Amino acid sequence: MNIATPQTLSVKRGQTATQTLDISLRSGFHVNSDKPKDEFLIPIKLTWMSGPLAAKQITYPKPEDVKVGEDTLSVFTGKFTIETKFLAPPQAQAGIATMQGKLRYQACDSRSCKRPATVEVKVPVSIQ
């Protein structure tokens, strides 16, 4: 999995702004969607630590249905984007800051799955 370096998110105090996380997978690989069809599959999940902004909503793309063996899975493949709507509280301190998060996923191909992994995500933030 490759996550593009996020652009600096500019937001005014008391306002919201949307940040996109651009992700690409190697050809032949997939990750389970945020809502897999089987409770035993590991969903992709983006979480944010508390910081200068509040994560109000995380939006995942529309998943694809892919047949693997006898099962039809709800997955993401290729390139996709996860969006987060952040709110800068009115009392937020103006200046440069960083939002830190974690992206948990399990990459699989048509024969096997790799171990679940968690990567850190850092988004530079400019609060005005």
Q: Fill in the amino acid letter for 68.
A: V
Model's pTM, two decimal places?
Answer: 0.93
pLDDT at 110 over 90: no
The C-alpha atoms of residue 63 and residue 65 are separated, in whole angstroms, by 7
pLDDT tens sequence across 36-77: 988 889 999 999 999 999 999 999 999 999 887 788 999 999
The C-alpha atoms of residue 118 and residue 128 are separated, in whole angstroms, by 31
Q: What integer pLDDT is reported at residue 27 of this predicted model?
A: 94
Q: What integer pLDDT is reported at residue 111 of this predicted model?
A: 87
Residue ranges covered by each domain of the chain: 2-127
Q: What integer pLDDT is reported at residue 61 of this predicted model?
A: 98
Q: Fill in the amino acid letter for 76.
A: F
Chain mean position to CA 25? 13
Q: How confident is the model at residue 13 (pLDDT cuts 50, 70, 90)?
A: very high
When comparing pLDDT for 96 and 109, which is higher?
Answer: 96
Superfamily of domain 2-127: Thiol:disulfide interchange protein DsbD, N-terminal domain (2.60.40.1250)
